[in-house]
Amino acid sequence: MTTTFRTLDRSKDIEGINSFLSDAYRPDNRDGNWLQPMWDYSCYHPLTDPVAQAATGVWEADSRIVGTAIFDLTKGNVALCTRSEYAPLKSEMLQYVESHLGKGGQPRINFFVHDFDTAAADVASRAGFARREEADKPLYGFRIPSPFPEILVADGFLLSNLEEHNDLRRIHRLLHRGFNHSGEPPEDELASRKIMRASPHYRPDLTSVTVAPSGDYASYCGMWLDEANRYCYVEPVATDPDYRRLGLGSAVVLDSIRKSAEYGAELAYVWSDQAFYQALGFTKLTTHECWTKELTSG
């Protein structure tokens, strides 16, 4: 299996890696890779380090992507994704990651491995990585019922989507406050909100909001759909503190899932173990185990 290596060419590899991850997917994420929406969301997130993203490693065979080393939003976090027949590449891929981050002065690598992927865990162990359980990231799933149950909304609130209600300033305010930032949102962050909606896979019709009697947006659920693989991915979810404990967060998540099911989705994923999602019926599918190595910059 002869392969070639290069670093990310953003002009073609954003979509190339999207296609690779979708093609390599196996039900319940048993492929051991990042979900395609995880990659796509990170590519348009304002907190993504452009230097780290540019260093994303790409391995090809016969002009198609067979593996990629993805650097997460948090510096030092990495996921190694391959087509199943190219899993032995992970040793070489991890060597690249260690070399790149070591030269960049990064003090630590966190390599995330699905808990069923014993071969990847062995690669990490042989490379001198050690388990760091407190940094694990669980992945939860929701089996979408049919027919979908009725979604209740508090009196006076309207359940809608961003095709019908798409005021960027109100979205900006909701997400700023919903993630517990104090005060009013900075005006200069509006441009970042636009970038986050720039992906060709962004689905305003699947992104649900509740509108308060005042006209404020009260809760928000972003939704990403892999139609070919019949799943959707929840990211992000927020409720304005003024409107919490009214069931509005649950309403937008369920509404986005319901609309995704109309396009064939049978499973919804969320990369979180918050009790909020478990109360909705999400159950743990796998844990992305954290394997860590401390680096000496050189």
Q: 202: domain CATH number?
A: 3.40.630.30
Any domain includes 144 = no
As a dihedral over the C-alpha atoms of residue 173, residue 176, residue 182, residue 187, rounded to 10 degrees, the angle is: -60
Burial status of residue 241 (CB atoms within 10 A of its CB: 0-12, 13-18, 19 or more):
exposed
184 φ, ψ (degrees, to nearest 5): -85, 150
Any domain includes 29 = yes
Structural domain total, the chain: 2
Question: What pLDDT score was predicted for residue 105?
Answer: 78
Please indicate, yes or no, whether residues 59 and 105 belong to a single structural domain of this protein: yes
Q: For the chain, how big is the Rg over CA atoms in Å?
A: 20
Please indicate, yes or no, whether residues 107 and 163 belong to a single structural domain of this protein: no
86, 56 Cβ separation under 8 angstroms: no
- In this structure, what DSSP letter does residue 73 have? S
Please indicate, yes or no, whether residues 101 and 60 belong to a single structural domain of this protein: yes
Least confident of 17-26, 72-81, 265-274, 282-291: 72-81
Any domain includes 187 = yes
Determine the structural domain holding residue 227 and report its residue range: 158-265
Any domain includes 95 = yes
Please tell me the total number of residues recorded for the chain in this structure. 298
Any domain includes 73 = yes
- pLDDT one-digit tens code per residue, 93-143: 999 999 988 777 788 999 999 999 999 999 999 999 999 999 999 999 999
76, 110 Cβ separation under 8 angstroms: yes
Checking if the pLDDT of 46 tops 70, the result is yes
What's the pTM? 0.95
| Tokens of residue 71, six digits | 């650097």
Question: What pLDDT score was predicted for residue 242?
Answer: 97
Place of tokens 């680096």: 295
Higher pLDDT, 80 or 193: 80
- pLDDT one-digit tens code per residue, 209-220: 999 999 999 999
